[in-house]
Amino acid sequence: MNVTQQLVNAIWLGSVYSLFALGYALVFSVLGVLNLAHSAVFMWGAFIGLISVIQFGLPVWMALPVAMVGAGVIAVLLERVAFAPLRARGAPRISQLISSIGASIFLVSLAQLVFGTQPQRFPFGSIPTDAIEGLPFRVTPIQIIILVIAVVLMALLNLMVQRTRLGQRMRAVAFNQRTAGLLGINVGGIYLSTFFLAGALAGAAGVLYGLAFNSMTPFIGDAIALKGLTVIVLGGLGNIQGALVGGFVVAGLEVFSIAAGGSNYRDAIVFTLLFLILLVRPQGLLGRKEITRA
Amino acid sequence: MDILRSIGITEPVIQFMLVNAILGLSIYLTLYTGMFSLANAGFMAVGAFTGVILTQEAGLPLGIGVLGGMALAGLVAIPIGLPVLRLHDIYLAIATIGFGEVVRILILNFDPLMSSITGQTVALTGGALGIKGIPKIAETWHLLLFLGIAAYCIARLHRSRFGRAMAAVRQDERVAANMGVNVVYVKNVVFILSAILAGGAGALSGHLTRIISPDGYGFDQAVQILAFAVLGGTGSIAGPIVGGIVLTGLPEVLRFASQYRGVINGLVLLLMIVYVPGGLVNPVGWARLWRRLRGPTPDA
Amino acid sequence: MRTRLFGLLMAFAILVMPFAAFAQDDVAMGADMAEACPAPANLPESITIGAVLTLSGGASVYGTTQQQGINLAISQINESGYLGEGTTLSIIFEDSASENEQAISAMTKLVEEDGVTMVLGPTLSREAFAADPVAQENGTVVMGVSNTAAGITDMGEFVFRNSLPEAAVIPGVVAQATANLGLTKVGLIYANDDDFTVSGYNFFRQSFIDNGVEIIGEETYATGDVDFRTQLTNLIAAEPDVIAMSALATEGVQIILQARELGFEGALMGGNGFNSPAVLEQTGEASNGLLVGAAWNIASTNPLSTAFMAAYEAAYSARPDQFAAQAYTGTWMFATALRCADSVDRTAVRDALAGLAEFATPLGSFSFDENRNPVHDPVVQVAQDGAFSVLGAE
């Protein structure tokens, strides 16, 4: 078994999982709801990036900011349509979960109408995919670029939440919405900012995913949706560092259960471990106690 | 009947509606007790495979198959419920999704696993190919009867001492415990009852679709079952039944929309939950929506 | 620049198309049967057939190209007056959403409510196992145009398929490739949660054993996975000469790209699912040396096949895949059965369809065996520089 190569595979896969899960975690930490349409926003991000390159002729590096803004706007619309009315009425959080499922079905079906079902890709030669020479393992420049972008985005998000005024307000709203409102924080505005940021992260993850795997259909979000959920629960719900760690842990578990010859039981191994971790540490690996939300 | 058929509600659709109404009831039980469990797709799989193996491999009648599916689903729920029901909210949801995935993967690998354990060739679940060629022996009246009995039992349960304990646990576990309710007992019993119902629905549906394979009982199905109850409303027994029926019928009725079917389906689901957040069976929500639509009353 | 050149070529193709079609009149689809069966006189003004396809959901990539193949055939059949003066063929498409339950309700609606004469589909084998008995019990012909699992036509005498089962394709590919390329060591990779890929894997495994090729490793993944580097790293470590993939196209594309990225230079082998220009477009140079066994040869010089490809490209600005070719052929087979039966009586149509023999189609000369399965030879194709050619035919 080529341990170094498998370790490289795990780190790389983990960065994709973590980046996807960050947006999930951000929305959950501030609003306390699971946004099951996050994977649909992710898919739209991938397509916005693709369209900006193949239809509008933008350079590939521009796909990332364009997709982040586009996906951020979609997420804001999602907040206004699927979440805000329910929150305003004080509906149970589980209703918001179901409305996000409706939104997800809508977004995926719409993508199918607009983009068709045939897989699409960035043009050949636009992405460096030849392995770097002279290393004891195989890794491509695009894998390294993606890893770096993912880590930078995660670090920026963390800084923003911990150090800026916006981040401070977000944490205040997360702690207690009513108190934050009484303190003069524009709670509705914070929700919009949170969704925009989460959408932008999903969009970035979508483009990077598109560049990495280079085969995009309206259904690319389906497979990663459950993975993202696993990652944030494992890491500690609503905990941003937790989502980061969780992504690498899940990817590592997957890679090494396959490497050890258990590819038939890979997901069973991941979920059994998740199950056990939840029983011992219900708050997740990095979570704090006393967060009870649905 | 003819009107129903002309809008796409044919007999198989009615049968799937009834199955989904039973599934809605099964998750209603846990939601009513304040437990956000998504294990029902997994219990449905246990019930479906057990029921079909009993009727097809052992040649037993459908009734025994359904009872067997219910029994095994209930038995599996005991060791799962004891540890997992200490969790709450989304943690419980994820742990139970994990259970569902493990069940799915075990069914997928059941034959080679059992073959290597017993040393003999085992061919029961058929792996990814599943079991095919199952005769369609479940009838509409079987489903109606099952749904009727289940609804009656739950209605009786609600009026019982145990039913009040369920409501108390949902309101506040600590207060319920202080009032002398055995919270752990109530939660586990409800979890098992919910599993039994889901197992029965699985066993019945396995004898409707002619083929069962593990991929029909994954994450999507778990969330779909939740949607039946939430869309219908968890305030009364009628809610999840109506939710199961409406959500099953909607894509069929929308067939006229051809390629716009998915878009409309998602939009309708979204609008229904946004404008009637308490669920479809929820007089208060409808009254509020009616007042909004009518505009402000002049004598307010 | 490339796109402009492509545009010019397309414009040229569209301009030339009508003339090309005119010039090839003697090889037009259905010409041979038009001689065998006289122009029908007793058919009603309009005949409706149905199709249950995966037009949404995870498998919609297949259903949508099938729909295009069927629409192309319908318009050709009506334009050529193949069903006689004043008879038009129309079709009702129903979406199965890639779900068994919806396939059942779609089939029920078509045969019981709409009363269609015949049904094409469903797209997936598991949907066929769920829904075909509805048509069988109703006494309506149903024909799979992409069902490859074993046992489809065992469901009854009204159940047909024109898609070669894996059992007929994979052993041929493995035998021919082993002989041609001298393969000795193979690594297998497949999705273990999908009926199509698992049954394909079973046939691959057995065929390699039968041909004396050593299996150096078997790896599995789950449908929807995107990263196969771990499994491929395991396989490549044992230095196989060929990696055989029982995969659907979506995952297959990633496996090809990642295997090459990890430095694998041997042959790659896939089943029906890889027989698509999209797979080659998505993988580029990485698919050089990809061996694909299939029911329809994209590089075929069969005039009906080239005419079909030209007409399809003119209509949809895309190259057809095997799913489109089989759906197109299936629609023409239905029309031919109607023409030869000269009736819409369900049993007469069934008998006429079952009696089709040596029908010239894009798939080659087509006949059914006594179990309503197709009888025609699979081809083994090898990919080079974005195009398929027949293995060994230089």
pLDDT in tens, C100-151: 999 999 999 999 999 999 999 999 999 999 999 999 999 999 999 999 888 9
**Taking CB atoms and an 8 Å cutoff, what residues of chain A touch C261?**
129, 131, 138, 140
CB contact (8 A) between residue B98 and residue A274 = yes
List the one residue out of C313, C336, C337 whose CA is nearest residue C325: C313
**Which amino acid type is present at position B42?**
G
Question: How many Cβ pairs within 8 Å bridge chains A and B?
Answer: 134
**Taking CB atoms and an 8 Å cutoff, what residues of chain C touch A268?**
none
From the list A85, A108, A233, the residue facing B91 with the nearest CB is A233
Q: Are B40 and B27 in contact (CB under 8 A)?
A: yes
Alpha carbon distances (Å) from A74 to A77, A170, A200: 5, 20, 9
Does B299 map to a domain? Answer: no
CB contact (8 A) between residue C230 and residue A223 = no
- Report pLDDT digits (tens) over B180-211: 999 999 999 999 999 999 999 999 999 999 99
**Residue B145 sits in a domain of what CATH number?**
1.10.3470
Q: Exposed, middle or buried by CB within 10 Å (0-12, 13-18, 19+), for B57? A: exposed
**Cα–Cα distance for residue pair A251/A234, rounded to 1 Å:** 12
The Cα angle at residue C95 between residues C89 and C101, in degrees rounded to 5: 125
List the one residue out of C320, C305, C323, C296 whose CA is nearest residue C55: C323
**Taking CB atoms and an 8 Å cutoff, what residues of chain A touch B265?**
105, 109
Structure tokens of C141?
A: 């012909």
Q: How far is A71 from chain B (nearest CA, A)?
A: 19
**Taking CB atoms and an 8 Å cutoff, what residues of chain C touch A224?**
226
* ipTM score assigned to the predicted complex: 0.91
* Residue B47 host element (H or E): helix B40-56
Does B271 map to a domain? Answer: yes
Task: Quote the domain boundaries for residue B191.
Answer: 2-294
Chain A adjacent subunits, 3+ CB pairs under 8 A = B, C
The Cα angle at residue B283 between residues B278 and B289, in degrees rounded to 5: 70
Does pLDDT of A286 surpass 80? Answer: no
List the one residue out of A207, A196, A206 whose CA is nearest residue A72: A196
Cα atoms in the Cβ-side hemisphere of radius 13 Å centred on B156: 6
B278 in A contact zone (CB under 8 Å): yes
Pairing mode, strands C379-384 and C141-144: unpaired
Question: How many Cβ pairs within 8 Å bridge chains B and C?
Answer: 80
**Cα–Cα distance for residue pair B152/C14, rounded to 1 Å:** 67
- The terminus-to-terminus CA distance of chain C in angstroms comes to 31
Residues above pLDDT 70, as percent of chain C: 92
The Cα angle at residue A116 between residues C258 and C270, in degrees rounded to 5: 35
Query: Which single residue is written with the structure tokens 């495979």?
Result: B49
How much is the average pLDDT of C379-391? 87
From the list A28, A105, A271, the residue facing B269 with the nearest CB is A105
Q: What pLDDT score does A50 carry?
A: 95
Cα atoms in the Cβ-side hemisphere of radius 13 Å centred on B241: 13
CB contact (8 A) between residue C112 and residue B10 = yes
Q: Which residue has the higher pLDDT, C16 or B179?
A: B179
Residues above pLDDT 90, as percent of chain C: 61
C265 in A contact zone (CB under 8 Å): no
Q: Which residue has the higher pLDDT, B183 or A13?
A: B183
**Cα–Cα distance for residue pair C337/C360, rounded to 1 Å:** 14
The residue among C195, C203, C246 with the most chain B CBs within 10 A of its CB, best to mutate, is: C195
Structure tokens of C195?
A: 């009926």
- Report pLDDT digits (tens) over A247-256: 999 999 888 8
**Which amino acid type is present at position B206?**
G
CB contact (8 A) between residue B106 and residue A268 = yes
C257 in A contact zone (CB under 8 Å): yes
Maximum CA pair distance of chain A?
61
- Report pLDDT digits (tens) over C342-362: 999 999 999 999 999 889 999
Residues 217-236 of A with CB under 8 A from C: 217, 219-220, 222-224
CA B254 to chain centre: 23
Structure tokens of B269?
A: 């689901």
The Cα angle at residue B118 between residues B113 and B122, in degrees rounded to 5: 60
**Cα–Cα distance for residue pair A99/A217, rounded to 1 Å:** 23
Helical axes A60-78 vs A38-54, angle rounded to 10°: 140
CB-based contacts of C342-348 (< 8 A; 24+ apart in sequence):
C342/C37, C342/C40, C342/C41, C342/C42, C342/C43, C343/C42, C343/C43, C344/C43, C344/C44, C344/C47, C344/C117, C346/C117, C346/C139, C346/C140, C346/C141, C346/C158, C347/C139
**Cα–Cα distance for residue pair B266/B264, rounded to 1 Å:** 5
Q: How many helices (H) and strands (E) does chain A have?
A: 12, 0
Q: How confident is the model at residue C3 (pLDDT cuts 50, 70, 90)?
A: very low
Maximum CA pair distance of chain B?
81
pTM of the model: 0.91
R_g of chain B, CA atoms, integer Å: 20
CB contact (8 A) between residue B265 and residue A109 = yes
C192 in A contact zone (CB under 8 Å): yes
Contacts of A88 (CB under 8 A, 6+ apart): none
**Which amino acid type is present at position A192?**
L
Contacts of C379 (CB under 8 A, 6+ apart): C293, C294, C295, C296, C297, C300, C390
State phi, psi for C357 to the nearest 5 degrees.
Answer: -145, 140
Alpha-carbon torsion (B198, B203, B204, B206), positive or negative: positive
Contacts of A168 (CB under 8 A, 6+ apart): none
Q: Are A140 and A149 in contact (CB under 8 A)?
A: no
Q: What pLDDT score does C205 carry?
A: 95
**Which amino acid type is present at position C315?**
A
**Which residues of C touch chain B, with CB atoms under 8 Å apart?**
55-56, 93-95, 97, 100-102, 104-106, 108-109, 112-113, 126, 129-130, 133-134, 149, 151, 155, 191-195, 197-199, 223
* Residue C120 host element (H or E): strand C118-120
Query: Which single residue is written with the structure tokens 């299936």?
Result: C330
Q: What pLDDT score does B228 carry?
A: 94
**Taking CB atoms and an 8 Å cutoff, what residues of chain C touch A107?**
none
Chain B adjacent subunits, 3+ CB pairs under 8 A = A, C
Does pLDDT of C11 surpass 80? Answer: no
Q: What pLDDT score does B298 carry?
A: 54
What are the residue boundaries of the structural domains of chain A, listed by start?
22-221
How much is the average pLDDT of C267-281? 86
Structure tokens of A292?
A: 């009870």
Q: Which residue has the higher pLDDT, C153 or A230?
A: C153
Q: If you measure CA to CA, which chain A residue comes closest to C60?
A: A117
Q: If you measure CA to CA, which chain A residue comes closest to C259?
A: A138
State phi, psi for C82 to the nearest 5 degrees.
Answer: -60, -30
Domains of chain C: 2-164+301-375 (3.40.50.2300), 167-294 (3.40.50.2300)
| Burial letters C70-96, b for 16+ CB under 10 A, else e | bbbbbebbeeeebbeeebebebbbbbb
Residues in chain B: 300
Residues above pLDDT 70, as percent of chain A: 96
Does pLDDT of C266 surpass 80? Answer: yes
Q: Exposed, middle or buried by CB within 10 Å (0-12, 13-18, 19+), for C158? A: buried
Q: What pLDDT score does C17 carry?
A: 45
C386 in A contact zone (CB under 8 Å): no
Q: Which residues of chain B have pLDDT under 70?
A: 1, 296-300
CB contact (8 A) between residue A138 and residue C261 = yes
Q: What is the mean pLDDT of chain A?
A: 86
- Partnered with residue C118 across adjacent β-strands are C141
Number of domains making up chain B: 1
**Cα–Cα distance for residue pair A203/B131, rounded to 1 Å:** 41
Query: Which single residue is written with the structure tokens 């029909």?
Result: B216
Q: What pLDDT score does B1 carry?
A: 67
**Cα–Cα distance for residue pair B115/C61, rounded to 1 Å:** 37
List the one residue out of B155, B146, B123 whose CA is nearest residue B202: B146
Alpha carbon distances (Å) from A185 to A27, A28, A193, C104: 18, 19, 13, 54
Residues 118-157 of A with CB under 8 A from C: 118-119, 121, 124, 129, 131, 138, 140
CB contact (8 A) between residue B10 and residue C113 = yes
Q: Are A13 and C233 in contact (CB under 8 A)?
A: no
Q: How far is A135 from chain B (nearest CA, A)?
A: 37
How much is the average pLDDT of C260-266? 91
Q: Out of A233-237, C65-69, C227-231, which region has the weakest mean confidence (pLDDT)?
A: A233-237
How much is the average pLDDT of C366-380? 88
Q: What pLDDT score does B201 carry?
A: 98
How much is the average pLDDT of A217-225? 87
Does pLDDT of A56 surpass 80? Answer: yes
Q: Cα torsion for B169, B172, B175, B179, to the nearest 10°?
A: -20
DSSP codes joined into one string, C262-285: TT--SEEEE-GGG-SHHHHHHHGG
Q: Are C244 and C289 in contact (CB under 8 A)?
A: no
